[in-house]
Amino acid sequence: MAHTLLMPKATAVWLVDNTALTFDQIAEFCSLHPLEVKAIADGDAAHGIRGLDPVASGQLTREEIARGEADPNYRLKLQEPKVRVPEVKRKGPRYTPLSKRQDRPNAILWLVRYHPELKDAQIARLVGTTKTTIEQVRNRTHWNSANLTPMDPVTLGLCSQLDLDMEVQRAARNAPPPPPAGDTLLPAMETENLEVREPALEEEKELDAEAVFAKLSSLKSRRSDDEDEE
């Protein structure tokens, strides 16, 4: 499993305050949007979040930061952990920290809008919410519906990109096949009837022609008889 950055927003706060890295470099390393990093730098976001030193936590080296500061196009590489912690399979809904629970309705709105194939149970697993809240957001009956903005749950840190991709793939596998489009073959009964009708029409045409010739012949014979009598 690929190693992921711990506390990306707190790491972004530290990198903004302590390095000369560009917003794009910090955004890509921390899996955030560049505008969100700019908001952190301007003091409009991440209020109350204490910066996390990625060097002290062993996620980034000072040499890597120096490379990034020297080249704006350089993309920082996450340092591999020295100790591997086995992944624990999660049971039940995902736990969401108190600081992020206010973002869940925005994440639900994003999932409902951009991934309508997801079931409520899947959305609940991804963002750690309830079906009641999902229905309220979906039906625009949530108490804060007027102020909700669709936001990617991965960017918000509510779930990982891997979890989201897995749920989307699972929903795609369980989706019903699309209805057939374009021209289709006629039923067998209709084609059989067509085949039967065509010879009948030809026979009628032949009979009509014979009747016409017969009438002409009878008219000619009558005229000949009349001429003989005169």
Summarize pLDDT for 19-50 with one digit per residue, the tens: 999 999 999 999 889 999 999 998 888 777 78
Q: Domain boundary residue among 158, 174, 190?
A: 174
Q: Count the domains in the chain.
A: 2
Residue 13 and residue 61 in one domain: yes
Q: Give buried/exposed letters for 107-145 (b at 16+ CB in 10 A, else e).
A: bbbbbbeebeebebebbbbbbbbeeebbebbbeeebeee
Least confidently predicted of 117-126, 128-137, 157-166:
157-166
Query: Is residue 179 domain-resident?
Result: no
Going by pLDDT thresholds of 50, 70 and 90, the confidence category of residue 57 is: confident
Query: Is residue 16 domain-resident?
Result: yes
Query: Is residue 184 domain-resident?
Result: no
pLDDT in tens, 177-221: 666 655 555 555 555 555 445 454 455 555 555 666 666 666 666
Residue 60 and residue 123 in one domain: no
Query: Is residue 78 domain-resident?
Result: no
DSSP string, the chain: -----SSHHHHHHHHHHH----HHHHHHHHT--HHHHHHHHHTSS-TTPPP--TTTTTSS-HHHHHHHHH-TT----PPPPSSPPPPPPP-SSPP--GGGGGGHHHHHHHHHHH-TTS-HHHHHHHHT--HHHHHHHHTT-STTGGG-----HHHHTSS-HHHHHHHHHHHHHHSPPPPP-S--PPPHHHHHHHHHHHHHHHHHHHHHHHHHHHHHHHHHHHHHHHHHH-
Q: Return the closest-CA partner of residue 155 out of 54, 48, 39, 74.
A: 39
Residue keyed to tokens 């730098």: 41
Rg (CA), the chain: 38
Residue 103 and residue 168 in one domain: yes
Residue 107 and residue 66 in one domain: no
Q: How far apart are CA 102 and CA 129, in angstroms?
A: 11
For position 161, what pLDDT does the model report?
A: 85
For position 185, what pLDDT does the model report?
A: 56
Q: Which residues span the domain enclosing 44? A: 8-70
Residue 162 and residue 115 in one domain: yes
For position 228, what pLDDT does the model report?
A: 55
Residue 114 and residue 64 in one domain: no
For position 184, what pLDDT does the model report?
A: 54
Query: Is residue 119 domain-resident?
Result: yes
Q: Domain boundary residue among 174, 208, 223?
A: 174
Residue 169 and residue 108 in one domain: yes
pLDDT in tens, 111-121: 999 899 999 99
Residue 158 and residue 118 in one domain: yes
Q: Domain boundary residue among 55, 70, 85?
A: 70
Residue 59 and residue 111 in one domain: no
pTM over 0.85: no
Residue 37 and residue 104 in one domain: no
Query: Is residue 26 domain-resident?
Result: yes
pLDDT in tens, 76-107: 998 876 545 454 455 555 555 555 567 889 99
- Cβ atoms of 104 and 144 closer than 8 Å: no
Query: Is residue 81 domain-resident?
Result: no
Query: Is residue 204 domain-resident?
Result: no
Q: How far apart are CA 167 and CA 162, in angstroms?
A: 9
Q: Is the pLDDT of residue 73 over 90?
A: yes
